[in-house]
Amino acid sequence: MFVFILLLLGSTHGLYLSYAIFSKNNTDNNANLLLALFVFCFSFNLFFILLDISGVQKNLPHTLLFELPTIFLFAPLLYIYVKKLSATTFYPVKIKHFLPAITAFIICSPFYLESGEVKSNFIYGLEPLSAFHQWYIIMFEFMFDFAVVIQIALYLTNIHQHLKRHRTMINNNFSYTEKINLTWLARLNIMVSIIFVFLVLELAFEVNAASCLDYGSGLLCEHPWVTAEPPFFFSEIGAVICIYVISIYGLKQPEIFDKFKNIYEEKLASTTSKIIDEYQQTQEEITHNDNPLPTQKYQNSSLTTELSRSIYEELCKFIAEQQLHLDTDLSLAQLAEQSGWSKHNLSQAINQGAGKNFFDFVNSLRVEHAKALLISSAKMSILDVSLDAGFNSRSAFYNAFKKHAQMTPSEFRKQ
C-alpha cells in the first residue's frame, strides 16, 4: 500500500510539474520544454508501473508496453537540457539522440496492433504463444534492458564531464558563480545516477530470479525470497523523490529555469560577444583536469614567463588602485576591457602569477579586503562586510573566506 500511494502521488505530481515547467518555456532556448519532457517521461513510466502493481493493467491489456519507448528518452532529454542551459549560443537538438526511442517504438509497433486476447496471454504467460511473441519476450526481458542500461550509463558519464568542463569555464571567466554554476544540475545528475544504480541492481535481481525459475541455476536459488516479488521498488521510489526535488528547486530558485545566457546578459551587454568567443576558445583549451598546470596549458603561448609575471604585477596594482575586485559582477571580459590587456594574456598571467583561476584570484583579493574590514570596523556585521567586499551572498562569502583563510569570518574576528 505504501508503494502504491507513493507512486500515485509521485506520478500525479510529476504530470502537473511537467505542465508547470512547460508553461515557463522560453521559445528562444526551449530548455524548459526539455526539462518538462524529462519530468513527464519519469511520471509517465511511474503511472504505468502503478497500473502494473495495482493489477489494473491486466484488465487493460492494450496498455501493455505502451510506455517502453519513453524509457529511452530519459537520458537524452537530461543531456540536451544540460547542454541547452549551459550554452551561450543556440544549441540545436539533434535527431540522433532520439533514434533509440524511435527504434524501440518501431519494434513494439507489431505488438501494439495485436488483439487484447493475445496481450492478455502475454501478461499471464498463457499458451499458446507464437514464436513471434516468444521472441518479443526475449527482446523485452533482455535486449531492451541491456540497451537501456548502456544508453543511460553513456549519457550520465557525458553529463558529468560536461558539467565539469562548464565549472572550469566559469571559474576562468567569472568572479561570481552563484547563478551560473549549475550546481543543482550536478546534484540532479548524481540523483539520477543513484536511481540508475538501483535500476541495474533490480534488473540483475530479476535476471537471476528468472534463471532460478526457468533453469534452476542462479545465485541463492534455494532461498524463496530470491524468486519472490520485491517488497520495494527502489528505482521507482527514487524517481518519485527526484520529481519532488526538481519541484522544490523550482520553487526556491526559479532562476534555474531561465535561459543561461540571460543571467549575465543585462549587466554584460557590452561584452557578450567577447564572452561567447572566449567561451568557445576556452572549451577547446580545457582538459579533463579542473586546474591544469600553467606550464602545460600555456606551453605554446607567445607570452613569455617574464612578460606574464610583469603583466600580473601591473594587473594587481591596477585592480588595487581601481578597486575592481569589489565589483560583484566582475568578469574576465570586463577586466580585459578596462585594463587593455587581452583576456588570454590576463588568464595566463593570473594562472602563472597567482597559481589560481580567475574566480579564486578575485575572491582572494576580496577576502583580504574583508579581513581589513573585520579588524578595523568592529561594528560592521559580517553580512555588511561580505557585501562591501564584493560578494553576492553570505554563503559565498563564508565559503571563500574559509577556503582562503582556513577559518570562518567569525573566528578571524575573534582572533
Choose one of 259, 277, 301: the last residue of a domain: 259
In 3-state terms, what secondary structure has residue 331? strand
Residue 308 and residue 243 share a domain:
no
Report if residue 271 sits inside a domain: no
- Please give the pLDDT value at position 113: 84
What is the CATH number for 141? 1.20.1070
- Domain count along the chain: 2
Phi–psi pair at 227, nearest 5 degrees:
-100, 0
Choose one of 259, 275, 302: the last residue of a domain: 259
Q: Is the pTM of this model over 0.95?
A: no
Domain that holds residue 365: 292-414
Report if residue 44 sits inside a domain: yes
What is the CATH number for 327? 1.10.10.60
- Please give the pLDDT value at position 139: 67
DSSP string across 89-125: S--PPPGGGGHHHHHHHHHHHHHHTS-HHHHHHHHHT
- Please give the pLDDT value at position 120: 79
- Please give the pLDDT value at position 137: 66
Report if residue 195 sits inside a domain: yes
Residue 349 and residue 204 share a domain:
no
Report if residue 276 sits inside a domain: no
The Cα–Cα gap between 170 and 268 comes to: 14
Phi-psi category of residue 218: left, alpha or beta, with phi > 0 → left and psi -120 to 50 → alpha? left
Cβ atoms of residues 44 and 67 within 8 Å: yes
Report if residue 274 sits inside a domain: no
Residue 205 and residue 321 share a domain:
no
Residue 132 and residue 76 share a domain:
yes
For residue range 65-82, list pLDDT tens digits in order: 888 899 999 999 999 988
For residue 174, what is the DSSP state?
Answer: B
For residue 127, what is the DSSP state?
Answer: S
Residue 317 and residue 234 share a domain:
no
- Please give the pLDDT value at position 276: 44
Residue 300 and residue 199 share a domain:
no
Residue 245 and residue 304 share a domain:
no
Which runs of consecutive H residues, i.e. helices, occur in 55-98?
Answer: 56-59, 74-86
Residue 368 and residue 308 share a domain:
yes
Report if residue 230 sits inside a domain: yes
Phi-psi category of residue 232: left, alpha or beta, with phi > 0 → left and psi -120 to 50 → alpha? beta
Residues lower than pLDDT 70 in the chain = 25-29, 87-90, 123-142, 176-182, 214-215, 225-227, 229-233, 249-302
Residue 328 and residue 252 share a domain:
no
**How far are the Cα atoms of 2, 192, 197, 232, 245 from residue 238, in angstroms, in the given order?**
14, 8, 11, 11, 10
For residue 71, what is the DSSP state?
Answer: G
- Please give the pLDDT value at position 368: 92
Residue 194 and residue 109 share a domain:
yes
Report if residue 35 sits inside a domain: yes
Residue 196 and residue 131 share a domain:
yes
Residue 299 and residue 178 share a domain:
no
